[in-house]
Amino acid sequence: MTAWSELAMYQQPAPQLFAPTAQTCARCGRMNPLDRQFCIDCSAMLARSEHTLAGIGGRLGANLLDGLIAGVTGAIALLFLAAGDAGPLVAAMLILGYLAGVLVFLSRGQTPGKAAIGLVCVRPDGTRAGFPTMFFARYLIPALLSSITLGIFGILDLLWALWDKDRRTLHDKIAGTFVVRMGASD
């Protein structure tokens, strides 16, 4: 008579009849579609996400780099403007070149500083944010709100990432984006 252990080696594993169609958020328990990187309800990063949230230091470094690049470009343009003759034309070309470069970066979900640090802005589904999201929702609307509130919104916007669970600023929440480290697929 054959032992049960001998029969067990001939058994095939049961086929999986249904592939998983959703994933559960560890923070709030909501079921999310498999193609989502972040929870629909609480915006937490889901377990199946291939992204890593950017740290506060990386985001600060990217902002400082962006400010440095803009400041140096502006200073050089002012020097050419003061030079006279062909100076205004060179200054205009320099500023237009800078703006064109920034537009290219924004269409890729980055700023020049974020690109240098290795950060990118993504939508909740994990795809890169495009130009409209980057320009209007992440920069234009917060700039207008900051102007209306005499800078209070701007300060609160930047400080918000210090206590937010996902290190998101207010302009991240307005745009519905997350700042993450670029992975091998980016």
Alpha-carbon distance of 150 to 117, in angstroms, equals 30
- Residue 102: C-alpha distances to residues 12, 66, 142 (Å): 57, 10, 18
| 158-164 contacts, C-beta under 8 A, 24 or more apart | 161/56, 161/59, 162/56
- Let me know: does 46 contact 57? Beta carbons within 8 Å: no
pLDDT of residue 14: 55
pLDDT lower than 50: segments of the chain? 184
pLDDT of residue 2: 55
pLDDT of residue 185: 52
Question: Using alpha carbons only, how large is the chain's radius of gyration in Å?
Answer: 24
- Let me know: does 172 contact 159? Beta carbons within 8 Å: no
| Residue showing tokens 């060179």 | 90
Residue 24 pairs in a beta bridge with: 31
Whether pTM exceeds 0.85: no
Nearest to 65 by CA among 12, 105, 117: 117
Nearest to 46 by CA among 27, 61, 64: 27
